[in-house]
């Protein structure tokens, strides 16, 4: 009976490419499930409503997110938060934006790196990106959550591994018309936007652009050290406008 039900699911997963990039899809599933089960999605009435729900959400972010001012106090729990924060998101837009970028760029990067190395790369670079942001903002009391540091590392690795891959982008200043550019145009443009935004960012709640830049640099550097020459032209089906929803500071 289990085989009868599972066979169509397995076939559908293979048709969607799951077999070639299982880690990427597992990461997407884990992020989505943790968001749906948590208080931020608003789908679980057990968390209450109004001020009660907001209080639960703040406690949730403080428990699983990175708080720079507490990170270097020496507790084991705080030291783990740069890893747990990778699977926590601050809103539906935050989640969906990050998962779209991971879906578009993660599969090809995983295929090139291999499952084990991609897993270590994703978690390690994501951890270091959040840690780097915490070092630069050591006195901040804001909770930092989101997978954008790790996903930025994937973008950096993708740029090195597939610089001539053609990416379909939807650009707001072109009325969201789909246009195709090589990765060496789209991704450096994205990194430049993060750099400009980081220079204007305040210390208050918002997007931690510095974590994006650190992750992107780590990803590009790791790929250039570990792997040989980039591959030839490749097509990437679709990508959104060149800036994912960033690390969120609720």
Residues composing the chain:
250
CB atoms within 10 A of CB 80: 13
Per the structure block, which two tokens stand in for 111?
């295929």
Comparing CA positions, the residue from 204, 196, 173, 194 lying closest to residue 245 is 194
Determine the 3-state secondary structure of 216 from DSSP.
helix
Running DSSP on this structure, what letter comes out for residue 94?
A: H
Catalytic one of 89, 94, 143, 148: 148
If one counts every other C-beta atom within 10 angstroms of the C-beta of residue 217, the result is 17
Q: Catalytic residue at 148?
A: yes
Q: What does the alpha-carbon distance between residue 32 and residue 217 come to, in Å, rounded to a whole number?
A: 26
**Which of these, 183, 161, 164, lies nearest to 117 by C-alpha position?**
161
- Give Cα separations from 205 to 34, 65, 142, 152, 215 (angstroms): 22, 13, 7, 20, 20
Under DSSP, is residue 105 helix (H, G, I), strand (E, B) or coil? helix
Q: Report the C-alpha gap between 205 and 228 in whole angstroms.
A: 40
Active site residue 94: no
Q: How far is it, in rounded angstroms, from Cα 140 to Cα 244?
A: 23
CA atoms within 13 A on the CB side of 19: 7
Catalytic residues: 148, 212
């Amino acid at each position: 009976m289990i085989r009868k039900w599972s066979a169509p699911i397995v076939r559908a997963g293979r048709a969607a490419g799951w077999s070639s990039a299982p880690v990427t899809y597992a990461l997407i599933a884990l992020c989505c499930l943790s968001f749906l089960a948590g208080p931020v999605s608003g789908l679980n009435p057990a968390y209450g409503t109004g001020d009660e729900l907001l209080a639960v959400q703040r406690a949730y972010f403080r428990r699983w997110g990175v708080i720079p001012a507490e990170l270097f106090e020496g507790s084991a729990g705080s030291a783990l938060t740069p890893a747990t924060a990778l699977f926590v998101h601050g809103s539906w837009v935050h989640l969906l934006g990050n998962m779209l970028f991971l879906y578009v760029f993660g599969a090809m990067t995983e295929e090139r790196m291999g499952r084990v190395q991609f897993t270590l790369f994703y978690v390690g670079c994501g951890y270091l990106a959040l840690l780097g942001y915490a070092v630069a903002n050591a006195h901040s009391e804001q909770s930092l959550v989101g997978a954008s540091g790790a996903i930025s590392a994937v973008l950096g690795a993708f740029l090195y591994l597939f610089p001539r891959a053609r990416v379909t982008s939807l650009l707001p200043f072109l009325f969201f018309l789909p246009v195709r550019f090589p990765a060496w145009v789209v991704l450096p443009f994205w990194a430049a936007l993060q750099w400009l935004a980081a220079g204007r960012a305040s210390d208050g709640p918002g997007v931690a652009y510095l974590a994006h830049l650190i992750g992107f640099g780590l990803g590009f550097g790791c790929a250039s050290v570990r792997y040989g020459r980039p591959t030839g032209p490749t097509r990437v089906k679709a990508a959104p406008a060149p800036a994912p929803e960033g690390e969120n500071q609720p």
